[in-house]
Amino acid sequence: MNGVNGMFDVPSCDSCEHAAVIVQNYSGRVLCNKHLAKSVRKKISRELRQQFEIDKGVMTTIFVAISGGKDSAVLLDSLVDILGQRRDVRIVAGTVDEGIEGYRPPSLVCAEELCKKLGVEFHTISYRDLQFMDMDDVAKRLPMIIDKDNDAPRMPCAYCGVFRRQGINHLAKQVGADVVALGHNLDDMAQTVLMNMTNGDLERTLRLAPHTTTPLDGMAPRIVPLRWVPEQEIHLYALHRNLPIHHEECPHARGALRWRHREMVARMEEDVPGTRHGLVRAADHIKAMRDQISDLGGSATQLAPPAPCVICGELTSGNQCKACDMRALLGLKFKEDFQ
């Protein structure tokens, strides 16, 4: 740290004389708002280039899944900033409405406001549109559907994750997306990797975005340009850019398995700075190893190509998709005429 500012011991930025807003323990850097913004933008641009190559002159549609929260707001703002001027790139945003009172309605307002501010086309789809039910109703029904004869997931987020994925797929299809951008930050990614590892779930690790080298058949590949930017830095950057963001947390979030992994990753990062980077790199290495084996003609790590679900037609690696399993658990019937 170079010096102090004012009465309190506030360290100075390591690149200028302004007061620092963050100490990056994982890199040893100390940054002011302006230099933090510069570093965040640089990381996002570099990842974007590495994760997805845009064919010059060929119209490319990027669908950005936004939630009204800080991460996806920073993602959309950055994509517009980096690619907005290109005539061969169309950026469209959309939100999946889970039906969560007190949480989703105000965040939808923020999402719409952000799109208006950036001049981006905005779409929404609700769980009811998808022939599911509002998440608040799923949460109420859970105690009734869990019994010893079935292995129904016990936490609302397990249902929500499956439904949301379908919502994003529908919106992406609707707008003719070539690629889907998601706002996962470094902390999210590290938590996911740890969750998959502790579950021994190699397949999910192999399917983890970005899908740069391994697009999943029939689906627009996912990119995650914020994946090296820590959550705290995204938050500071969103405030610095004055983006309209919703701060509340979903009422069903506590108690979810992710919540425990979030605490674990935060504690490990505090003890050993760089842990989050290490976890995400581990997943990259596993995927790279799979690519090498495939190049050599091996098939042990090849994922089964997805096929249409026998009930709803969504692509799935099984016979019936997870969403249809969950519809059945909730007593919902899928209607054929669904678009």
Interface with ligand SF4 (CB under 6 A): 98, 135, 156-157, 160-161, 250, 252-253, 256
Asked if 59 and 92 count as a contact pair (C-beta separation under 8 A), the reply is no
By the rule CB under 5 A, 170 interacts with Zn ion: no
The residue with tokens 């990027």 is 62
- Could you tell me which stretch among 105-113, 163-171, 217-225, 305-313 binds Zn ion (CB under 5 A)? 305-313
Nearest to 47 by CA among 199, 168, 200, 224: 224
State the binding partner of 195 from Zn ion, ligand SF4, none, CB within 5 to 8 A by kind.
none
- State the minimum distance, in angstroms, from the CB of residue 159 to ligand SF4: 8
Q: Name residues contacting Zn ion, limited to 111-130 (CB under 5 A).
A: none
State the binding partner of 35 from Zn ion, ligand SF4, none, CB within 5 to 8 A by kind.
Zn ion
Binding pattern for the stretch 4-43 against Zn ion, x by CB under 5 A and - elsewhere: ---------x-xx-x-------------x--x--------
List Cα–Cα distances, 51 to 59, 208, 211, 224, in angstroms. 18, 13, 8, 8
Report the alpha-carbon distance of residue 69 to residue 248 in Å, rounded: 9
115 or 309, CB closer to Zn ion? 309
State the binding partner of 138 from ligand SF4, Zn ion, none, CB within 5 to 8 A by kind.
none
Query: CB neighbours (10 Å) of residue 323?
Result: 25
- State the minimum distance, in angstroms, from the CB of residue 312 to Zn ion: 3
- State the minimum distance, in angstroms, from the CB of residue 161 to ligand SF4: 6
15 or 61, CB closer to Zn ion? 15
43 or 170, CB closer to ligand SF4? 170
- State the minimum distance, in angstroms, from the CB of residue 336 to Zn ion: 12
Asked if 97 and 107 count as a contact pair (C-beta separation under 8 A), the reply is no
With CB under 5 A as the rule, give the number of residues binding Zn ion: 12
Angle formed at CA 208 by CA 287 and CA 254, multiple of 5 degrees:
140
Report the alpha-carbon distance of residue 236 to residue 32 in Å, rounded: 11
* Beta strands 4-5; 10-11: pairing state: antiparallel
71 or 98, CB closer to ligand SF4? 98
Q: Which two tokens mark 40?
A: 């965040």
Q: Which two tokens mark 151?
A: 């292995």
With H, G, I as helix, E, B as strand and everything else as coil, classify residue 135. helix
Report the alpha-carbon distance of residue 275 to residue 282 in Å, rounded: 10
- State the minimum distance, in angstroms, from the CB of residue 188 to ligand SF4: 11
98 or 325, CB closer to ligand SF4? 98
In this structure, which amino acid lies at residue 134?
A: D
Query: CB neighbours (10 Å) of residue 119?
Result: 9
157 or 186, CB closer to ligand SF4? 157
State the binding partner of 160 from Zn ion, ligand SF4, none, CB within 5 to 8 A by kind.
ligand SF4
The full length of the chain comes to 339
Binding site for Zn ion (CB under 5 A): 13, 15-16, 18, 32, 35, 309, 311-312, 314, 321, 324
